[in-house]
Chains A and B, each alone.
Chain A
């Protein structure tokens, strides 16, 4: 019988190696806070964290960064006055800034097996300095590579034992694409449902992309 549910946070987070690249979803709602706390509490070091933004002074991102276990942050936005901003200023955190749409597409490309793509986003800005550009159909474009995750941390509203997921309202955001892009996708779900309770045409993230699911009631 296929059953992707795990009973404890320790089993959900098991086996994350030093140096792993961790994709963490969320844009306000949709942030897998329990799993990020679990990541902060387990032993892997030297992590690369991929998230939309670098957070503030409190909350799951700040707590994770405060452990010192994250070496590099890939995101679209960092506040100078935040844990991430101060760690960067002190030379304790490497930051790679990626335009938000390019970040989403690089993650999607990883999940979809696309080896690289050209986009006009950022091509005529300082983000393109010393990088490969090319004019396509008269438009200057910038070469971008996929972002593969070793681990993805995902938030869901409902999950069944096959790992089929729904995401509530705008909590969907990065969750479906990050689930596609990692070798091991770990989900926290607010609700556990029977197989078939989610209509097939209403599945937002298909179980094929999911390895482990932890029930975290809201």
Chain B
């Protein structure tokens, strides 16, 4: 029996932050990804939001909210010194045009060929909630996914093929879960890192896709 403590959401965000070098332009999706910026305060990393903000700063004090300044989740933000503001088409030109070094998104599932499913749990879902995920997924130089390794019911989110409607095909480079860090390679998911106490057998038992051990 493996004896391990899965990372919490802050732990996943902090693990991602370790791998982001100074100087990158980064877009963070909603959920766990948003927390990543809390853990890179020692480096100059420029955070982009889909609504045209380049250079998001720390969250504002409640008494100092600027109602004209929000992020892609319409939460109030601050700007860093040196920030820039653009309109929506230019903002997505930044995303789609390959100007982001990294985008971190949450997901329901990722497959071993780098497909991501993060916007609908069924193709028959009548209401579609696409937002900007498809543009970010196809455009960023690197797409990393932050998510729990398994569903609440214990099902694997790391799959041979996605069962939910895709956001984009073949675009995910890395997956950071509460149990491990996986790289998408031509041969499948390669395990770059595991949490303390995790074993190969225990990780594979929680993973539908076949893992590679470099």
Contact = CB atoms under 8 A, between A and B. Distances in A.
B62 interface: no
A125 B167 contact: yes
A105 interface: yes
Contacts of B135: 99-102, 121
A101 B87 CA distance: 11
Nearest to B137: A121
B129 A100 contact: no
A173 B69 CA distance: 11
Residue of A30, A123, A124 most packed against chain B (CB within 10 A): A124
Residue of B49, B51, B67, B167 most packed against chain A (CB within 10 A): B51
Contacts of A124: 166, 168-169
A80 interface: yes
Given A100-B50, A100-B132, A169 B68 contact: yes
A125 B95 CA distance: 18
Nearest to A176: B87
Contacts of A19: none
Contacts of A122: 130, 134
B130 A77 contact: yes
A1 interface: no
Interface residues of B, number: 40
B86 interface: yes
A80 B127 contact: yes
A144 B139 CA distance: 17
A99 B128 CA distance: 10
B80 interface: no
A95 B129 CA distance: 12
B66 A169 contact: yes
Interface string A147-177: 0000000000100000000001111111111
Interface string A20-37: 000000011110000000
A39 interface: no
B153 interface: no
Contact of B130 (A80, A85, A97, A168): A97
Interface string A98-109: 111110110110
Interface in B156-170: 165-169
B206 interface: no
Interface string B96-125: 100000000000000000000000000100
Given A95-B127, A101-B96, A125-B167, 8 more contacts: A29-B67, A76-B132, A79-B129, A101-B50, A102-B135, A104-B91, A173-B87, A176-B87
28 contacts: A76-B131, A78-B127, A89-B126, A97-B128, A100-B132, A101-B96, A101-B134, A101-B139, A102-B134, A104-B89, A108-B89, A119-B96, A120-B96, A120-B139, A121-B135, A122-B130, A122-B134, A123-B138, A124-B169, A127-B130, A168-B68, A169-B68, A169-B85, A170-B51, A170-B85, A172-B85, A172-B87, A176-B87
The 7 A-B residue pairs whose C-beta atoms are closest, nearest first, are: A101-B135, A101-B92, A100-B132, A169-B68, A97-B128, A108-B89, A28-B74
